[in-house]
Amino acid sequence: MGKRENIVVGLDIGTTKISAIVGEVVDDGVDIIGVGTAPSKGLRKGVVINIESTVESIRKAIDEAEVISGQKITSVYTGIAGGHIRGINSHGICALKDNEVRAIDVEKAIDAAQAVAIPLDREVIHVIPQEFVVDDQDGIKDPVGMSGVRLEAKVHIVTAAVTSAQNIVKCCNRAGLNVNDIILEQLAASEATLSQEEKI
C-alpha cells in the first residue's frame, strides 16, 4: 500500500455505525478516494462505553477504507458528540497600538476571550471567532488593517468532558491511529452540507 502526502482521513465514530472516509487534497478541493463502514458496538448515546469493541469496529472500518483507497492510514480527524458537550459565548478585548488592527491584536483578543472559568473536568474543543467589533462598529469578519483604538472579539467556545475525549483518542491509538484533531460532529456535518450563504 502506498502512502501519499496529501491524504486526509475522517473517522466518524457514531452510535450505530463507524465510518472512515479517505480524501485526497487536490488543487481544486478534495476528492474522496475511499470509504469504509462497520457497525458500531461499543458506544451509547455517542459516548464510548466499551473500548475493546470500539477498537474492533474502528479497525474494521479503517481496513475497508485502506483496501478501497489503496492507502495506508496512520492518522485521522475524528468527531466527538454526546450530552456532555456545552457551548458558551464569550468576548475578549484588546487595545490597539498605532490605531490599526494587526494580526497579533486579533490573536490577543481571541486569547482574552478564552479567559473564562472552565472546570477541570472539561476541555475546550473549539474556539470559533464569530465577529469582531472595532471601536463601536460591529459585524466585522476580518478586522486586520482597520483603523481604531479598541478591538473586541466575540467567540463561541465549545467544551467537552475530558474523559470522553480521552476515550476517543485511546480507542484510535489502540487501533493504531494518531488523532490529528477532535472536531464537534455537528460542526463537521455543517462543513460538508451547508452552502456559504447558509453559514452566515
Partner 1 sequence: MHTSVLSIGGNHISNDIAVGLRTPVAEAEKIKTRHGCALSSMVGREERIEVPSVGGGPDRIFSRQILSEIIEPRVEELFTLIKQEITKSGYEDMLASGIVISGGSTLLEGMPELAEQIFNLPVRRGIPKGIGGLVDVVKSPLHATGVGLVLYGSRHQGARLFRNREENVYQRVKERMREWIEEIF
- Rounded to 10°, the helix 51-69/162-174 angle is 50
Q: Of the listed pieces 50-58, 109-117, 170-178, 184-192, which binds partner 1 according to CB under 8 A? A: 184-192
Say how many residues touch partner 1, by CB under 8 A. Answer: 62
Rounded to whole angstroms, the Cα distance separating 10 from 23 reads 8
Query: Quick check: 194 binds partner 1 (CB under 8 A)?
Result: yes
Going residue by residue from 105 to 144, which x/- string records binding to partner 1, judged by CB under 8 A?
-----------------------x-x--------------
Query: Quick check: 187 binds partner 1 (CB under 8 A)?
Result: yes
Q: Which three cell numbers stand for residue 82?
A: 454526546
Which helix (H) or strand (E) segment is 80 a member of?
strand 75-80
Query: Quick check: 71 binds partner 1 (CB under 8 A)?
Result: no
Rounded to whole angstroms, the Cα distance separating 43 from 182 reads 17
Q: Which three cell numbers stand for residue 155?
A: 467567540
Determine which residue in the list 1, 2, 3, 16 makes contact with partner 1, applying CB under 8 A: 16
CA 111 from centre of chain: 18
Q: Which amino acid is at 18?
A: I
Rounded to whole angstroms, the Cα distance separating 190 from 138 reads 25
The minimum distance between CB 18 and partner 1, in angstroms, equals: 9
Q: Which residue has the cell 465549545?
A: 158
Query: Quick check: 70 binds partner 1 (CB under 8 A)?
Result: no
Going residue by residue from 76 to 95, which x/- string records binding to partner 1, judged by CB under 8 A?
xxxx-xxxxxxx-x------
Q: Which residues form the interface with partner 1 (CB under 8 A)?
A: 8-12, 14-17, 19-26, 28-35, 45-46, 76-79, 81-87, 89, 97, 104, 128, 130, 156, 158, 180-181, 183-195, 197-198
